[in-house]
């Protein structure tokens, strides 16, 4: 048996490369990353899927024998990293752009190599403390007490789910009462909230969509009246969601006024700052988000405004005990792990999780907060600059001055033909590839939106956006005028 065991050990030897092989692997990966980064400014904003990409991966079946590193990296280049939307590029303005912080990438590498068990404090007290340090820094940033509950999640949607179940516990909503409770959202509340309500078993709540004002912010007076009417009709208003930067237009709800209404009706106030939260680092952002410290819970996405790669959201809950009641657990096989201090797993749906704190903490350490403050202020000014430039182009109708860094606009005109022209313009821009932006509908009208949040997005990219939009806007308007049925001429 010993001999057989040794044979198996030898057959599995590849799983543990020696130092020279590790160095070779790192060097090849490093070269790949550098080549890709060097090509990034010249890559299109969007590349549609194609047969060559499918073939490139199909040529790499997972098999019994190893594949060469060169072949796999070539497959990644041809089959993966060439395709789709190019989020980390400076010329990317779609959806909500995400960064690609290089320091975060290195942090992920270190966290993976050392593989600290960060779910339970006993497993890696230092890793838990790094998570704590990030969460405490965020509590201070948002004006939350330092004993608030918090969790670093995989993203904003899971963070929202944690907030919603914490709210359910905090507000004491029992399953049998759900159908007699009411929740207040708007048309522009991110769908992550409705999704979280459904996953949490709360889809039978009565959901009110509170009207927006002309700048796409929640109408706090209408919220107050609706909650009052619902209470009078025997419903229990228990949750209101404010947005600190909607995905559609970047609008920030009047957080103070919403907090007043929430307090007067005894509702839990959740603030969705997944996109906008980072602007708390700027003086202007702090003014616009004033009142966020009065919320009961909030969500923020470091993989948006702190430029870390995809995979990190944050939830903060003022009443840590509510958060713990929603997520707490105990198990016989964890009896050695101590329980005096709360662990990340006590406040999270996850038990085992990656050491996420490092990918936020290391860049903050190595860059310093001032650099983030400058970058975010730059994005706010770029959005205002773009808004001004668009107003100078007569063929466009431009939305309100941006609260944060999303600007909405469209080729002027009403009706289905104008909507179709705007849809065509968005497609034309995406196909052109020099920049990328995405569209939405607001009040049933097709709008284009320029979202400025990429760490690599600077003045030259916004200048380019103005140029591309102007040029293709003229082309699309001409084409659609040409396509309109001409009045019948004399025959």
Ligand X SMILES: *Cc1c(COP(=O)(O)O)cnc(C)c1O
Binding site for ligand X (CB under 6 A): 96, 155-157, 190, 192, 247, 272, 274-275, 301, 313
Please state the closest distance from residue 10 (CB atom) to ligand X, in A: 45
Query: Please, which residues have CB within 8 angstroms of residue 170's CB and are 6 or more apart in sequence?
Result: 268, 296, 317, 319, 322
Nearest to 184 by CA among 154, 221, 151: 221
Whose Cβ is closer to ligand X: residue 192's or residue 220's? Answer: 192
Q: State which residue, 279 or 396, has the beta carbon closest to ligand X.
A: 279
Phi and psi, residue 447, nearest 5°: -125, 145
Residue whose Cβ sits closest to ligand X:
156
Smallest separation, CB 84 to ligand X (Å): 16
DSSP string, 72-140: HHHHHHHHTTTSEE-TTSTTB-SSS-----HHHHHHHHHHHHH----SSTTT-HHHHHHHHHHHHHHHH
Measure the CA–CA gap between 333 and 83, rounded to whole angstroms. Answer: 45
| Residue number with CB closer to ligand X (278 or 362) | 278
Nearer to ligand X, 104 or 343 (CB): 104
CB of 155 to ligand X, least distance (A): 3
242, 258 contact by CB (below 8 A): yes
Residue 51 is encoded by which pair of tokens?
């047969």
Give the shortest CB-129-to-ligand X separation in angstroms.
Answer: 25
Q: Which is nearer to ligand X, 91 or 190 (CB)?
A: 190
Nearer to ligand X, 120 or 450 (CB): 450
CA dihedral 362, 353, 80, 309 (to 10 degrees): -30
Q: Which is nearer to ligand X, 89 or 192 (CB)?
A: 192
Q: Which residues contact 418 (CB under 8 A, 6 or more apart)?
A: 410, 411, 412, 446
Report, in Å, the least distance between residue 85 CB and ligand X: 14
Tell the burial category of 70 from Cβ atoms under 10 Å away from its Cβ (0-12, 13-18, 19+). exposed
Residue 440 Cβ vs ligand X, minimum distance, rounded to whole Å: 12
What number of residues does the chain have? 491
Q: How far apart are CA 102 and CA 80, in angstroms?
A: 19
Residues contacting residue 287 through CB under 8 Å, at least 6 positions apart: none
In the complex with ligand X, the residue whose CB is nearer, 269 or 472, is 269
Q: What's the closest the beta carbon of residue 244 comes to ligand X, in angstroms? A: 8
Q: Which two tokens stand for residue 310?
A: 């995809």
Rounded to a whole number of angstroms, the minimum distance from the CB of residue 217 to ligand X is 14
């Amino acid at each position: 048996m010993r001999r057989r065991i040794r044979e198996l050990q030898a057959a599995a030897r590849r799983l543990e490369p020696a130092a020279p092989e590790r160095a070779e692997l790192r060097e090849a990966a490093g070269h790949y990353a550098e080549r890709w980064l060097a090509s990034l400014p010249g890559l299109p904003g969007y590349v549609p899927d194609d047969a060559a990409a499918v073939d490139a991966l199909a040529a790499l079946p997972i098999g019994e024998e190893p594949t060469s590193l060169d072949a796999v990296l070539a497959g990644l280049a041809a089959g993966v990293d060439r395709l789709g939307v190019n989020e980390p590029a400076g010329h990317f303005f779609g959806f909500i752009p995400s960064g690609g912080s290089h320091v975060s990438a290195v942090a992920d590498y270190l966290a993976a190599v050392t593989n600290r068990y960060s779910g339970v404090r006993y497993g890696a007290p230092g890793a838990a403390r790094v998570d704590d340090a990030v969460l405490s820094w965020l509590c201070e940033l948002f004006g939350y007490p330092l004993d608030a509950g918090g969790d670093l999640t995989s993203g904003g949607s899971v963070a929202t789910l944690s907030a919603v179940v914490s709210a359910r516990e905090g507000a004491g909503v029992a399953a049998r009462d759900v159908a007699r409770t009411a929740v207040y959202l708007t048309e522009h509340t991110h769908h992550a909230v409705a999704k979280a309500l459904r996953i949490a078993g709360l889809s039978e709540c009565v959901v009110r969509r509170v009207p927006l004002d002309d700048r796409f912010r929640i109408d706090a007076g209408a919220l107050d009246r609706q909650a009052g009417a619902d209470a009078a009709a025997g419903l229990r208003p228990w949750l209101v969601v404010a947005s600190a930067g909607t995905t559609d237009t970047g609008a920030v709800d009047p957080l103070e006024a919403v907090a007043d209404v929430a307090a007067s009706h005894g509702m839990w106030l959740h603030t969705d700052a997944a996109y906008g939260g980072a602007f708390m680092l700027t003086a202007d952002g702090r003014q616009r988000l004033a009142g966020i410290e009065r919320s009961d819970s909030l969500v923020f996405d470091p993989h948006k405004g702190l430029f870390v790669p995809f995979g990190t959201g944050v939830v903060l809950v003022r009443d840590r005990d509510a958060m713990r009641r929603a997520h707490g657990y105990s198990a016989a096989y964890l009896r050695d792990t101590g329980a005096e201090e709360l662990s990340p797993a006590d406040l999270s749906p996850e038990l085992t999780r990656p050491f996420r704190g490092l990918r936020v903490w290391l860049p903050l350490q190595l860059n310093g907060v001032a650099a983030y403050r400058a970058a975010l202020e730059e994005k706010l000014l770029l959005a205002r600059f773009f808004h001004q430039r668009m107003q100078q182009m007569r063929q466009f109708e431009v939305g309100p001055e941006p609260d944060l860094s999303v600007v909405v606009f469209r080729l002027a005109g009403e009706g289905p033909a104008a909507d179709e022209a705007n849809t065509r313009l968005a497609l034309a821009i995406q196909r052109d590839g020099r920049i990328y932006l995405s569209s939405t509908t607001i009040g049933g009208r097709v709008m284009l939106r320029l979202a400025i949040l990429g760490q690599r997005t600077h003045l030259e990219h916004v200048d380019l956006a103005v140029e591309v939009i102007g040029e293709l806007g003229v082309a699309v308007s001409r084409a659609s005028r040409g396509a309109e049925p001409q009045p019948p001429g004399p025959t």
